[in-house]
A and B are shown apart, each in its own frame.
Chain A
Amino acid sequence: MEPGRADEVGSSSPSGSGVSTSQLTEDGAIRVDDRCPKQVSPIRGGGSRNTSPLSRAGSRNTSPSRQKVIKTKPRGLDEETAATFSKIVHPDVQMEDNIWAMLPEDLLNEILARVPPFMIFRLRSVCRRWNSILQDSSFLKFHSQVPSHGPCLLTFWKNSQTPQCSVFSLPLKTWYRIPFNFLPPWAFWLIGSSGGLVCFSGLDGLTFKTLVCNPLTQTWRTLPSMHYNQQRQLIMVVDRTDRSFKVIATSDIYGDKSLPTEVYDSKLDIWSLHQIMPAVNLCSSKMAFCDSTLYLETLSPLGLMLFRLDRGLWEHIPAKFPRSLLDGYLVAGTQKRLFLVGRIGLYSTLQSMRIWELDHGKNTWVEISRMPPKYFRALFRLSAERFECFGQDNLICFTSWNQGKGLIYDVDKKVWSWIAGCALQSYNSQICFYEPRFDASIN
Chain B
Amino acid sequence: MSSSSSSSSSPPCPKKMITLKSSDGETFEIEEIAALQSKTLENMIDENCASTPIPLPNVKGKILAKVVEFCTKHAEAGADAETLRAWDAEFVGVEHAIVFDYILAANFLEIPTLLDLACESVAEMIKGKTPDEIRKFFNINNAFSPEEEEDVRRQNQWAFE
Residues of A near B40 (CB, < 8 A) are: none
Residues of B within 8 A of A (CB): 81-82, 85-86, 88-90, 92-97, 100, 103-104, 107, 115-117, 119-128, 131, 134-144, 149, 152-153, 155-156, 158-161
Binds B, one of A113-121, A150-158, A270-278: A113-121
Say which residue of A51, A124, A127 sits within 8 Å of B156 (CB atoms).
A124
Closest to B93 in A: A88
Say which residue of B86, B128, B140, B158 sits within 8 Å of A84 (CB atoms).
B128
Task: Render A90-132 as a binary contact track against B, CB cut-off 8 A, 1 for contact.
Answer: 1111001111110100111011111110111111111111110
Q: How large is the interface on A (under 10, 10 to 19, 20 to 34, 35 or more residues)?
A: 35 or more
Closest to B140 in A: A127
Q: A78-B128, A119-B159, A176-B158 are in contact. Are A125 and B95 (CB under 8 A)?
A: no
Residues of A near B138 (CB, < 8 A) are: 100-101, 103, 108, 126
Closest to B89 in A: A53
A180 to chain B, nearest CB (A): 10
Q: A77-B128, A100-B96 are in contact. Are A61 and B144 (CB under 8 A)?
A: no
Residues of B near A110 (CB, < 8 A) are: 103, 107, 115, 119
Structural contact, A68 and B103, CB atoms closer than 8 A? no
Structural contact, B89 and A88, CB atoms closer than 8 A? yes
Q: In the complex, A106→B88 CA distance in Å?
A: 23
B108 to chain A, nearest CB (A): 10
Structural contact, A90 and B131, CB atoms closer than 8 A? no
Q: A80-B128, A123-B131 are in contact. Are A90 and B96 (CB under 8 A)?
A: yes
Structural contact, B152 and A99, CB atoms closer than 8 A? no
A51-B81, A52-B117, A107-B103 known; 16 other A-B pairs, CB under 8 Å? A52-B116, A53-B88, A54-B124, A59-B82, A66-B86, A88-B93, A90-B93, A96-B95, A97-B136, A100-B139, A110-B115, A111-B103, A114-B119, A121-B159, A123-B131, A123-B134
Closest to B112 in A: A145
Structural contact, B131 and A122, CB atoms closer than 8 A? yes
- Secondary structure at chain B's binding surface: helix, strand, loop or mixed? helix
Q: Can you list 21 residue pairs at the A/B interface with Cβ under 8 Å?
A: A52-B116, A53-B92, A53-B117, A66-B93, A68-B94, A80-B128, A84-B127, A89-B93, A107-B107, A110-B115, A114-B123, A115-B123, A118-B159, A120-B159, A124-B156, A125-B149, A125-B153, A126-B131, A126-B135, A129-B143, A176-B158
Structural contact, A68 and B128, CB atoms closer than 8 A? no
Residues of B near A128 (CB, < 8 A) are: 143-144
Residues of A near B161 (CB, < 8 A) are: 176-177
A221 to chain B, nearest CB (A): 21
Q: A68-B93, A114-B120 are in contact. Are A90 and B127 (CB under 8 A)?
A: no
Determine if A60 is an interface residue (Cβ-Cβ < 8 Å): yes
Structural contact, B90 and A125, CB atoms closer than 8 A? no
Say which residue of B86, B89, B97, B126 sits within 8 Å of A99 (CB atoms).
B97
Q: In the complex, A119→B125 CA distance in Å?
A: 12
Structural contact, A103 and B156, CB atoms closer than 8 A? no
Residues of B near A99 (CB, < 8 A) are: 96-97, 100
Closest to B83 in A: A61
Residues of A near B127 (CB, < 8 A) are: 81, 84-85, 115-116, 119
Structural contact, B135 and A103, CB atoms closer than 8 A? no
**Of A77, A122, A123, most B-chain CB atoms within 10 Å:** A122
Residues of B near A122 (CB, < 8 A) are: 131, 156, 159-160
Q: In the complex, A78→B125 CA distance in Å?
A: 12
Residues of A near B159 (CB, < 8 A) are: 118-122, 176
Determine if A372 is an interface residue (Cβ-Cβ < 8 Å): no
Closest to B148 in A: A128
Structural contact, A127 and B141, CB atoms closer than 8 A? yes
Q: Which 8 A/B pairs are nearest by Cβ-Cβ distance?
A: A81-B128, A101-B139, A121-B159, A114-B123, A88-B93, A53-B85, A61-B86, A121-B156
Residues of A near B135 (CB, < 8 A) are: 126-127
Q: In the complex, A96→B98 CA distance in Å?
A: 10
Structural contact, B158 and A179, CB atoms closer than 8 A? yes
Q: In the complex, A124→B93 CA distance in Å?
A: 27
